[in-house]
C-alpha cells in the first residue's frame, strides 16, 4: 500500500557515518527523525537492497531499546530512513554538554546497561548494530538510552554480522562513560568493559547491572531526564567539516564534527595509528589536505513517501 503522506524537513541535527540526520514535521503537527543516507554510499542498487533488508527486519522485530524505524524512503537519487522520534540528544551530546559537572550517580552505569540490553535484544533476533558509538546512541525523554542507525553501515559495506564487534564497541563506550562517572561507578564500568572486550557482552552487562544496582539513583532516571532539555538547548546542529571515504573510516575517524566555539583546523599531515585497529599501523606518510567535498544539504521542501507504514 502506498500512502503519499508528505513530510516537512525542519533542520539538520548532525552528520554521522552514513549520512545526515534531520528533524521533520508531519501534517498532523508531529515530529520525527529522518536520516538522509550519503548518496555515494547507496549509489549501488545492491547496497540499497541490503539496507532495505535490514530495515525490513528491524520493522518486523521492533526490538526494545532501539529507536523505531518506520520506513525507508527514496526521493529521486536520495534515500531516507525515517524513525518514529527525533533522535536527539545523543550520548555524544551528553558527554560533550556535561563539561565539568559530573553525571548524576548511577546514570553512566544505567546508560551502559541500557545499551547492552538493547544490543542483546538485537542479537537475539539475528541483527547486529555494527556501528555502535556515542553518536549512534540517543537519550530518550525518560533518561534511557536507545540505539539508532542499527545495521545500516554494515549493510552498506556488506559486512558480515559481527556480535563481537558490537561487544567491543560497547566496551569502548563503557570506558568513555567511566571517564566521566564517579569513582565507584567508574570502576564497575571499567571491569565490565574488560569482560566485554573478551566478547562476553551478556556476562559484562549482567555483572554491571547487579553491581550498579547498589548505586544511588541507578534505577531512577529522574536526574538525568531532568537535565536533558537543557542539554538539548546546548547542542546546536553541527556542520560537517570533512568527510572521508568509508574505507578510511574503518581504521580511523569518520566524518568530522567541529565542537561549537572551536576553530576548524586545516590538516596538512596526518599519521594514523588507530584507535579503530589498535594493533595495526594505518599510517599514511603523504600529506592529507582537508577535503572540501561537503555534501550539499538537501533542498528544504516536501518529500513524498513511497512506502507505507506497516
Q: Which is nearer to other proteins, 226 or 269 (CB)?
A: 269
Residue 165 Cβ, how far from other proteins at the closest point, in Å? 10
- Residue 37: CA count within 13 A, CB half-sphere: 28
Whether the Cβ atoms of residue 253 and residue 291 lie closer than 8 Å to each other: no
Residue 273 Cβ, how far from other proteins at the closest point, in Å? 4
Q: Which is nearer to other proteins, 184 or 232 (CB)?
A: 184
d(CA 200, CA 61): 23
d(CA 124, CA 110): 21
Buried b (16+ CB within 10 A) or exposed e, 196-235: bbebebbebbbbbbebbeebeebeebeebbebbeebbeeb
User: Which cell is 73 given?
Assistant: 524512503
Whether the Cβ atoms of residue 215 and residue 105 lie closer than 8 Å to each other: yes
Q: Which is nearer to other proteins, 106 or 182 (CB)?
A: 182
Q: Which is nearer to other proteins, 4 or 266 (CB)?
A: 266
Q: What is the DSSP letter of 16?
A: -
Q: Can you give the binding site for other proteins, defined by CB under 8 A?
A: 17, 92, 95-96, 99-100, 132-135, 169, 172-173, 175-176, 178-180, 182-184, 186-187, 190-191, 194, 241-242, 249, 252-259, 261-276, 278-279, 281, 283, 290
Residue 258 Cβ, how far from other proteins at the closest point, in Å? 8
**99: which residues sit within 8 A by CB, 6+ positions away?**
none
Q: Which is nearer to other proteins, 102 or 229 (CB)?
A: 102
Q: Which is nearer to other proteins, 70 or 128 (CB)?
A: 128
- CA 194, 199, 203, 208 torsion-angle sign: positive
Cross-strand partners of 71: 82
Q: Which is nearer to other proteins, 24 or 103 (CB)?
A: 103
Residue 223 Cβ, how far from other proteins at the closest point, in Å? 18
Residue 108 Cβ, how far from other proteins at the closest point, in Å? 12
Residue 236 Cβ, how far from other proteins at the closest point, in Å? 14
Q: Which is nearer to other proteins, 142 or 271 (CB)?
A: 271
Residue 49 Cβ, how far from other proteins at the closest point, in Å? 25
Residue 168 Cβ, how far from other proteins at the closest point, in Å? 9
| H runs (alpha helix) in 21-159 | 45-61, 91-97, 107-124, 152-157
d(CA 196, CA 278): 17
Amino acid at each position: 500500500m502506498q500512502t503519499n503522506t508528505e513530510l516537512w524537513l525542519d533542520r539538520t541535527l548532525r552528520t554521522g557515518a552514513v549520512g545526515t540526520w534531520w528533524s521533520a514535521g508531519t501534517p498532523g503537527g508531529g515530529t520525527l527523525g529522518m536520516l538522509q543516507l550519503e548518496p555515494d554510499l547507496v549509489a549501488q542498487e545492491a547496497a540499497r537492497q541490503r539496507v532495505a533488508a535490514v530495515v525490513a527486519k528491524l520493522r518486523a522485530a521492533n526490538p526494545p531499546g532501539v529507536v523505531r524505524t518506520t520506513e525507508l524512503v527514496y526521493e529521486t537519487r536520495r534515500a531516507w530512513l525515517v524513525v518514529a522520534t527525533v533522535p536527539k540528544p545523543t550520548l555524544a551530546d551528553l558527554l560533550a554538554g556535561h563539561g565539568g559537572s559530573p553525571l548524576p550517580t548511577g546514570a553512566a552505569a544505567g546508560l551502559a546497561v541500557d545499551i547492552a540490553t538493547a544490543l542483546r535484544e538485537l542479537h537475539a533476533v539475528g541483527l547486529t548494530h555494527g556501528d555502535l558509538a556515542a553518536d549512534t546512541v540517543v537519550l530518550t525523554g525518560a533518561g534511557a538510552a536507545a540505539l539508532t542507525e542499527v545495521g545500516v553501515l554494515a549493510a552498506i559495506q556488506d559486512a558480515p554480522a559481527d556480535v563481537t564487534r558490537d561487544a567491543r564497541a560497547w566496551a569502548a563506550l563503557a570506558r568513555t562513560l567511566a571517564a566521566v562517572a564517579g569513582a565507584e561507578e567508574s570502576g564497575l564500568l571499567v571491569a565490565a568493559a574488560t569482560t566485554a572486550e573478551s566478547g562476553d557482552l551478556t556476562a559484562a552487562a549482567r555483572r554491571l547491572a547487579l553491581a550498579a544496582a547498589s548505586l544511588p539513583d541507578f534505577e531512577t532516571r529522574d536526574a538525568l531526564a531532568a537535565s536533558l532539555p537543557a542539554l538539548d538547548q546546548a547542542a546546536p546542529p553541527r556542520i560537517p567539516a570533512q568527510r572521508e571515504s568509508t574505507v578510511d573510516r574503518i581504521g580511523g575517524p569518520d566524518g568530522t564534527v567541529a565542537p561549537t566555539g572551536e576553530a576548524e583546523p586545516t590538516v596538512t599531515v596526518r599519521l594514523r595509528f588507530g584507535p579503530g585497529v589498535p594493533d595495526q599501523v594505518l599510517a599514511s606518510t603523504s600529506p592529507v589536505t582537508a577535503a572540501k567535498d561537503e555534501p550539499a544539504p538537501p533542498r528544504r521542501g516536501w518529500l513524498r513517501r513511497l512506502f507505507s507504514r506497516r
